[in-house]
Amino acid sequence: MKYGYFDDLKREYVITQPDTPLPWINYLGCQAYFGIISNTAGGYSYYRDARLRRISRYRYNNVPLDFGGRYIYLRDDESKEFWSPSWQPTRNNIENYSCRHGLGYSTIGSQYAGIEAHTRYFVPLDENLEIWQLTVTNRRSTKATLSSFASIEFCLWDAQDDATNFQRNFSTGQVEVEDAVVYHKTEYRERRNHFAYFATSEKNGRFDTQRESFLGRYNGWDKPDTVAAGELTNSIAYGWSPIGAHQAKIELAPGETKQIVFVLGYHENPVADKFDPAGSQILNKKLVKPTIDKYLDPVNADAAFEQLSKHWDSLLGIFQVDTPDVHTNRMVNIWNAYQCMATFNMSRSASFYESGIGRGLGFRDSNQDLLGFVHMAPIRARERILDLAATQLPSGGAYHQYQPLTKRGNNDIGGDFNDDPHWLIIGVSAYIKETGDWGILDEPVQYNNVEGSEQPLYEHLQRSFKYALERIGPHGLPLIGRADWNDCLNLNCFSDTPGESFQTTTNKEGKVAESVFIAGLFVHSGTELAAIARHRGLQAEAATYVAEVEKMDKVIRQHGWDGEWFLRAYDALGAKIGSKECEEGKIFIESQGYCVLAGVGLEDGLAAKAMESTRKHLATKHGIVLQQPAYSKYYINLGEISSYPPGYKENAGIFCHNNPWVIIAETRLGHGDEAHDYYTRINPSAREEIGDLHRCEPYVYAQMIAGKDAPSHGEAKNSWLTGTAAWNYYAIAQWILGIRTTLEGLEIAPVIPKSWPGFTASRSYRGVTYKIVIERQGQGNSVALTVDGAAIEGNIVTPPTDGRKEVTVKAILS
């Protein structure tokens, strides 16, 4: 069953039933102020860091589901009945419900008792605030006398502390109210110079700032006493739980419409100007007031919304395609690109599954995310690369994550994952291929954020590779360290203590367990680094990388091949993992996909064989599972992977992140049908029809779809923040459609399904717009190119030297 539909022209997903199988969320904000919002207005906001600057409160894993949000109530002051136009929290029997999740905004509303109401939520560009525009229309034939109530529950900044330290936090809350603005200033009296505020355009209404006064004793958000009674109490919070609530009286003639604007925001005052008058304890509101007033005016709010739409138009306009497949078009042109920007902004911090307190920006994750967004935000990509590289350790190794607010690396969720440093090389290479900005390699970048340790970024790449060379195991394969891409393959952990972290515990020296996946990654990153070195004129150095890559390639064939597929690893005792000799976990996806993606075995049939085995043992109609057979019990020598029930997560779930590696591998073998078939199996838009099984949003990828060993095979989980976004975007755009960035220029090498007559695309690249037409004349993948009518050799289009800004490229496939 479907719960809505795609409105491709408006670039919206329209949800038409509020009780979706799970909250279907969207993101507000794309720079510094962010929020998540569900289709029933649940969610929260934060400034830069979802843990340290949480603005509003949300209760994860609550019962009922998805509680805490940007809640608006309407009350008919004659019948005394009240409801929420967004369905939650009151859950009345509303009519014509819709939630339009668009690019950076959501509009949610419905009709009830003849009153239509919608709220558009968005964050203007360059501002640290969100706007809620509530529009109420009287569809009755008689006058309506209503009250509106808007509410937000403030979080006391540190979301972790807020959810645990009640003995203190029940006594710190403070607010001020002035001119219909509730200012939340908990801890402002001491070391904070930031505060939040909640303002309304209706200046004559009542308010509440103490949660209990608003809700009444023992009530939930579904039944606030004050809303039922029709009057807020003008309470002033002192400790306990500060909220912001505003009431407005609305009289509407039949057919009449009224708009009320609310602004929820965050502001930092200069330390010396915290109070006004100076020396008092009164918040200085002078600096923020003009901004609040500006956006309470609907004209300015609308203008800001227009600007936001233009912003997204220009980002998505960089790459647009028209193929015979609607699901491909929709994901490439709209939703996958949009999701890539969300993963860039949030990394893995804040979603319905990521609580915003667990993880900062992952070194490995953020580098891979670059693959999906670098063309849309090259300047920010540059900054991200330099931030990431500055956390790198002098050894070339990496902290596993850094906190976005401080930009400092930490070991909270482990370190010594031996795949980490390779991703920096791959990320930087993707950046240069897009931008041609070779200068980034000469940027001085610190190690471990230590002043004085600056070295050119290029040296960071050299050290990354050196780190790998210094960690080679008994078979000549890379040592795995804590784990590799698969955080749950913890071969040196050997944990028998309940609750111990699989990612931070190590009980073995780590000198034996090796990873064939990292070997594939080594071939990939070594090849990229060699190309970069060559371009810098470092021929001898490039040759050493090539030699190391060739050596590793040989080792993979000798010690990483199991007869019909690539092995996955050797454990701490030197036993094979991912081999026909194993009882469970005989074959894994990561080494098949990544080794072939990197080019191993393309010539001698190993790659083709590995893909055949993948199809035979791992492919399901819902995607490719991570390994088979699933682990049926806990293996102390394998760690977290065997902690999950069969079919979930890393234990034989369809871990969508690595499916594109196989997709790319298939294109490397010239298999367009297979590649696009795998692409479609996990494409959320193509799964829209099976909404009750899939359960997650049909417009974004989820980290996982339950594998064939799970009773819920086909059910998605952990949507939005996953490397799946970048990798699928990269796989479809650069490998199936084959519009590929290289160090020299734009390569045109499509490997599309045989049934496609071709497709067209528009791609802006290094300041030039390429209008690309692909036409199939034969069944193969050979490309004959003409550029502005002139035939060219090979399939790389180099930037025009005569200043042309638009170029037409025609490719004949035969």
In angstroms, the CA 10 to CA 7 distance is: 6
Which backbone phi and psi does 802 adopt, to 5 degrees?
Answer: -105, 20
CB of 487 to ligand BGC, least distance (A): 3
Element (H, E) at 541: helix 539-559
Q: Which is nearer to ligand NOJ, 655 or 678 (CB)?
A: 655
One-letter amino acid at 737 equals L
CB of 701 to ligand NOJ, least distance (A): 13
The contacts of residue 512 (CB under 8 Å, 6+ apart) are: 473, 474, 479, 570, 571, 572, 573, 574
Residue 364 in the binding site for ligand NOJ (CB under 6 A): yes
Of ligand BGC, ligand NOJ, none, which one sits near residue 274, judging by CB under 5 to 8 A according to partner kind?
none
**C-alpha dist (Å) from residue 175 to 161, 172, 178, 288:** 19, 10, 10, 16
Tokens 């558009």 belong to: 120
Report the 10 Å Cβ neighbour count for 612.
Answer: 14
Of ligand NOJ, ligand BGC, none, which one sits near residue 787, judging by CB under 5 to 8 A according to partner kind?
none
* DSSP3 helix / strand / coil % (the chain, rounded to 5): 30, 30, 40
Residue 267 in the binding site for ligand NOJ (CB under 6 A): no
**31 DSSP 8-state letter:** S
CB of 36 to ligand NOJ, least distance (A): 18
Residue 365 in the binding site for ligand NOJ (CB under 6 A): yes
Of ligand BGC, ligand NOJ, none, which one sits near residue 714, judging by CB under 5 to 8 A according to partner kind?
none
Of ligand BGC, ligand NOJ, none, which one sits near residue 695, judging by CB under 5 to 8 A according to partner kind?
none
Burial of 365 from C-beta contacts in 10 A (0-12 / 13-18 / 19+): buried
* Helix ranges (DSSP H) in 363-412: 363-373, 378-390
Q: What DSSP letter does each residue of 240-295 carry, written as one string?
A: S-EEEEEEEEEEE-TT-EEEEEEEEEEEE--GGGSBSSTTSSSB--TTTHHHHHHH
Of ligand NOJ, ligand BGC, none, which one sits near residue 364, judging by CB under 5 to 8 A according to partner kind?
ligand NOJ
Of ligand BGC, ligand NOJ, none, which one sits near residue 101, judging by CB under 5 to 8 A according to partner kind?
none
Of the candidates 481, 541, 545, the one whose C-alpha atom is nearest the C-alpha of residue 514 is: 481
The contacts of residue 774 (CB under 8 Å, 6+ apart) are: 748, 750, 752, 758, 759, 760, 761, 811, 813
Q: Which is nearer to ligand BGC, 97 or 485 (CB)?
A: 485
Q: Are strands 54-56 and 144-157 parallel, antiparallel or unpaired?
A: antiparallel
Looking at the DSSP bridge assignments, the partners of residue 401 are: 362, 410
CB of 527 to ligand NOJ, least distance (A): 21
Q: Which is nearer to ligand NOJ, 321 or 468 (CB)?
A: 468
**C-alpha dist (Å) from residue 333 to 336, 558, 693, 733, 810:** 7, 43, 26, 10, 21
Of ligand BGC, ligand NOJ, none, which one sits near residue 118, judging by CB under 5 to 8 A according to partner kind?
none
In angstroms, the CA 770 to CA 767 distance is: 10
Minimal CB distance residue for ligand NOJ: 487
Of ligand BGC, ligand NOJ, none, which one sits near residue 486, judging by CB under 5 to 8 A according to partner kind?
ligand NOJ
CB of 593 to ligand BGC, least distance (A): 17
Q: Which is nearer to ligand BGC, 89 or 360 (CB)?
A: 360
In angstroms, the CA 287 to CA 710 distance is: 56
Q: In what order do the strands lie in the sheet with 702-705?
A: 654-655, 702-705, 716-719
Q: Which is nearer to ligand BGC, 471 or 657 (CB)?
A: 657
Answer for the pair 68, 56: CB distance below 8 angstroms, yes or no.
yes
Binding segment toward ligand NOJ, per CB under 6 A, in 85-93, 263-271, 482-490, 565-573: 482-490
Binding segment toward ligand NOJ, per CB under 6 A, in 13-21, 66-74, 483-491, 526-534: 483-491
487 catalytic per annotation: yes
**Contacts with ligand NOJ, 337-356, as mask; x by CB under 6 A:** -----------x--------
Footprint on this chain of ligand BGC (rule: CB under 6 A):
359, 413, 487-488, 503, 649-650
CB of 348 to ligand NOJ, least distance (A): 5
Q: Which is nearer to ligand NOJ, 57 or 364 (CB)?
A: 364
The Cα diameter of the chain in Å comes to: 85
Binding segment toward ligand NOJ, per CB under 6 A, in 359-367, 441-449, 450-458, 492-500: 359-367
CB of 703 to ligand BGC, least distance (A): 7
Of ligand NOJ, ligand BGC, none, which one sits near residue 413, judging by CB under 5 to 8 A according to partner kind?
ligand BGC
| Contacting residue, 420, 487, 528, 697, with ligand NOJ by CB under 6 A | 487
Minimal CB distance residue for ligand BGC: 487
Site for ligand NOJ in 536-555 (CB under 6 A): none
Count of residues that interact with ligand NOJ, criterion CB under 6 A: 9
Q: Which is nearer to ligand NOJ, 56 or 367 (CB)?
A: 367
| Contacting residue, 158, 553, 650, 747, with ligand NOJ by CB under 6 A | 650
CB of 635 to ligand BGC, least distance (A): 16
Element (H, E) at 678: helix 672-682
Of ligand BGC, ligand NOJ, none, which one sits near residue 503, judging by CB under 5 to 8 A according to partner kind?
ligand BGC
Looking at the DSSP bridge assignments, the partners of residue 403 are: 408
In angstroms, the CA 544 to CA 378 distance is: 31
**C-alpha dist (Å) from residue 54 to 49, 119, 189, 289, 357:** 7, 23, 18, 21, 10
Q: Which is nearer to ligand BGC, 488 or 746 (CB)?
A: 488
The contacts of residue 534 (CB under 8 Å, 6+ apart) are: 542
Which of helix, strand or coil describes residue 151?
strand
Q: Which is nearer to ligand NOJ, 15 or 489 (CB)?
A: 489
Q: Which is nearer to ligand NOJ, 108 or 488 (CB)?
A: 488
Of ligand BGC, ligand NOJ, none, which one sits near residue 735, judging by CB under 5 to 8 A according to partner kind?
none
Looking at the DSSP bridge assignments, the partners of residue 275 are: 283
Tell me which of 76, 484, 487, 562 is the catalytic residue. 487
Residue 486 in the binding site for ligand NOJ (CB under 6 A): yes
Residue 421 in the binding site for ligand NOJ (CB under 6 A): no
Residue 521 in the binding site for ligand NOJ (CB under 6 A): no
Q: Which is nearer to ligand NOJ, 76 or 650 (CB)?
A: 650
In angstroms, the CA 511 to CA 497 distance is: 23
Rg (CA), the chain: 28
CB of 413 to ligand BGC, least distance (A): 5
Residue 23 in the binding site for ligand NOJ (CB under 6 A): no
Query: Which residues of this protein are in contact with ligand NOJ, per CB under 6 A?
Result: 348, 362, 364-365, 485-488, 650
Residues forming the active site = 487
